[in-house]
Amino acid sequence: MLSATDRYLARQIALPLLGTLVIAAMLLVLDKMLRLFDFVAAEGGPVSVVWRMLANLIPEYLSLGIPIGLMLGILLAFRRLALSSELDVFRAVGLSYGRLLRVPYMYAIGLALVNLAIVGFVQPYARYAYEGLRFELRSGALGASIKVGEFTNLGKRMTLRIEESRENGRDLYGIFVRIEDKSGQSLAVTASRGTFLATDDPDTIIFRLKNGVLVHESPKYESPRILSFSSHDLPIDLPQIEAFRGRGDADLELTIPELVKAGSDSNPSERLRNEARANFHFRLVEVAMMLLLPLAAIAFAVPPKRSTSALGVFLSVVFIVTYHKINEYAESLGALGIVSPIIALWVPFLLFSALILWMYHVSAHRPGGQPIGALERAFAKVGKWIGKWFRFGRRKLQQVT
């Protein structure tokens, strides 16, 4: 049963945790969204595919955002308790840091399990779906977007230009079409109106044109043949589209059991085995570190007495991002076979764990202990120097004016 104190701490942590998670995910999505819009526009695909691609990237962004949200959620909650002296009251009535960490560890264990499910099983399938959409865009399987007033290539031998589009592209006006074949024959058509129609053959569509002129040229003809029409159906052969590869050609698309199998299988090459092992250990150390984040959050959260410095918040973000980047570099070393993945990824984990345990020990068991006290003092001196410099500059400016 949770006590009133536990429920109070749970409420204090929940809001900054959710807020930080949403903000981190939104920033990552917005950054990727702009690049996806450029990519889709360059490939001539429909805009709707951008949202499908972003949806498949959400698990990857959540795997990055959940540890940051957990760290900052606990940190900001305990920072608020420290600044309002509530933390001192809890300590005075006999609640140690170990007792106060019960609720943060409930959050940490629950989110670590969620993150393990994401990186271990959800993200590989989402990544494969994302790569499939990229392949379909490049191959034309999603269809080309016909831009008004511009020449659009539909396949290698057909060019289309329209002056006006209505009803979301169902009605086209001011149409010019030119088709060439391998034998040297060409067909140029102008029409006032047209629309695309489906057929029973999935590889062929009909372009129904109204009120136009058709010019047929061929090496066999002495002069082009010209035909005026009120209605003409122009069959268009869709280009053959290569099938997308199967899932698992990249280690990011393998689930954790599949990584274990690939890493222990003697059939693939040594390079593939190293990549599978490195990615397997990378996912494990990322999730395992979440179990130590509550201790790190406590160490960064509590500022020195009579201080409201937010240096700990900044350092916590630097700390978790640095750890993630070191793991990415260690994974690349393990994938190349330069260092064993176990050594490359678990040694940094142990070093960071030792640092976190030391910081927590100083904060929790040394009276007045502040593991980042030296940095806090240096930060305070720099802040005072900058403030003094600005005041001096303001006085100089006032004297001049």
Q: Which of 302, 296, 308, 277 is nearest to 379 (CA)?
A: 308
Residue 393 has a CB neighbour count (10 Å cut-off) of 10
49, 132 Cβ separation under 8 angstroms: no
Residues 170-226 have pLDDT tens digits of 788 899 988 888 777 888 999 999 888 877 776 678 888 999 999 988 888 888 888
Predicted pLDDT at 100: 93
356, 295 Cβ separation under 8 angstroms: yes
Q: Which residue type occupies 283? A: R
Predicted pLDDT at 160: 85
Predicted pLDDT at 401: 61
pLDDT confidence band for 76 (50 / 70 / 90): very high
Tokens 């900044």 belong to which residue? 314
Structure tokens at 371: 């593991």
**Quick one: CA dihedral 255, 256, 259, 261, positive or negative?**
negative
Predicted pLDDT at 164: 86
Q: Which residues contact 177 (CB under 8 A, 6 or more apart)?
A: 158, 159, 160, 187, 188, 189, 190, 191, 207, 209, 234
Q: Which residues contact 325 (CB under 8 A, 6 or more apart)?
A: none
Stronger pLDDT, 255 or 385, i.e. the higher one: 255
pLDDT confidence band for 352 (50 / 70 / 90): very high
Model confidence at 323: pLDDT above 90: yes
Predicted pLDDT at 145: 58
Predicted pLDDT at 185: 85
Predicted pLDDT at 379: 66
Model confidence at 374: pLDDT above 80: no
**Quick one: CA dihedral 222, 223, 224, 227, positive or negative?**
negative
- Residue 322's alpha-carbon distances to 237, 317, 327, in angstroms, are 53, 8, 9
Residues 54-74 have pLDDT tens digits of 999 999 999 989 999 999 999
Q: Which residues contact 14 (CB under 8 A, 6 or more apart)?
A: 73
Predicted pLDDT at 152: 76
CA distance 348 to 331: 11
pLDDT confidence band for 327 (50 / 70 / 90): very high
Residues 271-305 have pLDDT tens digits of 888 999 999 999 999 999 999 999 999 999 988 77
Model confidence at 245: pLDDT above 80: no
Residues 216-225 have pLDDT tens digits of 888 888 888 8
Predicted pLDDT at 133: 85
CA distance 107 to 221: 79
Span 157-169, mean pLDDT? 80
Predicted pLDDT at 316: 92
- Residue 23's alpha-carbon distances to 15, 16, 62, in angstroms, are 12, 10, 11
Structure tokens at 199: 């057929």
Stronger pLDDT, 384 or 359, i.e. the higher one: 359
Mean pLDDT of the chain: 85
Which string of DSSP letters, residue by residue, matches 167-234?
Answer: GGGTEEEEEEEEEE-TTS-EEEEEEEEEEEEE-SSTTEEEEEEEEEEEEEE-TT-SS-EEEEEEEEEE
Residues 234-243 have pLDDT tens digits of 887 766 556 6
Q: Which residues contact 140 (CB under 8 A, 6 or more apart)?
A: 44, 155, 239, 241
Least reliable range by pLDDT among 13-17, 150-154, 206-210: 150-154
